[in-house]
């Protein structure tokens, strides 16, 4: 099974604000066309990014998917081409055990840098990045047994089992 969900309103209040109307109104990622690979992520509010500035954007989303899959988060190519916007980590990689982790419920964030010469505004409800689900393979003698403890950047902080 794979799907996107909203984070809980409690997590939304911690990470974004306590606007219940905004929480109830924002939409989950969606593919634009029948043959789209990526699910568009939509801005919760207007986002202004000055030249050289880095902005960390809460998505309000978490994703559940199979353990042999990953979710890649990519910049919408049109924003890169037109405005020279880039993800600061180039490609976001979300593993299945990030979902509902104890630190942040699996709330995904996107960090964008404006490498252009003009301020760019991403309007509320505009697609700015996208998620692509992929399968991955393991080597034959893989023996990883650690369990994720926490949210973003937590795979180096884990319990060994």
Alpha-carbon gap, residue 139 to 98, rounded angstroms: 22
Residue-wise DSSP of 72-84? EEEE-HHHHHHH-
pLDDT of residue 154: 54
User: What is the domain partition of the chain in residue ranges?
Assistant: 3-136+145-159
Answer whether 44's CB lies under 8 Å from 58's CB: yes
pLDDT of residue 110: 98
Calculate mean pLDDT across residues 46-56. 98
pTM exceeding 0.85: yes
Alpha-carbon gap, residue 107 to 6, rounded angstroms: 9
- Token pair for 98: 């990030």
Q: Which pLDDT tens digit goes with each residue over 22-46?
A: 999 999 999 999 999 999 999 999 9
pLDDT of residue 155: 59
Q: Binning pLDDT at 50, 70 and 90, where does residue 156 land? A: low
| pLDDT at position 152 over 60 | no
Q: Which CATH superfamily is domain 3-136+145-159 in?
A: Deoxyuridine triphosphatase (dUTPase) (2.70.40.10)
């Amino acid at each position: 099974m794979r799907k996107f969900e909203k984070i809980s309103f409690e997590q939304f209040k911690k990470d974004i604000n306590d606007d219940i109307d905004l929480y109830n109104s924002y939409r989950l990622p969606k593919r634009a066309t029948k043959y789209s690979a990526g699910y568009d992520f939509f801005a919760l509010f207007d986002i202004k990014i000055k030249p050289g500035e880095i902005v960390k954007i809460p998505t309000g989303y978490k994703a559940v998917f199979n353990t042999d899959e990953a979710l890649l988060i990519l910049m919408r190519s049109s924003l890169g081409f037109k405005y020279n916007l880039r993800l600061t980590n180039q490609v976001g990689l979300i593993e299945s055990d990030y979902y509902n982790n104890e630190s942040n419920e699996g709330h995904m964030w996107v960090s964008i840098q404006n490498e252009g010469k003009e301020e760019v505004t991403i309007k509320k409800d505009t697609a700015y990045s996208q998620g692509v689900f992929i399968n991955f393979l393991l080597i034959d003698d893989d023996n990883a047994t650690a369990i994720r403890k926490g949210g973003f950047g937590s795979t180096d902080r884990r319990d060994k089992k």
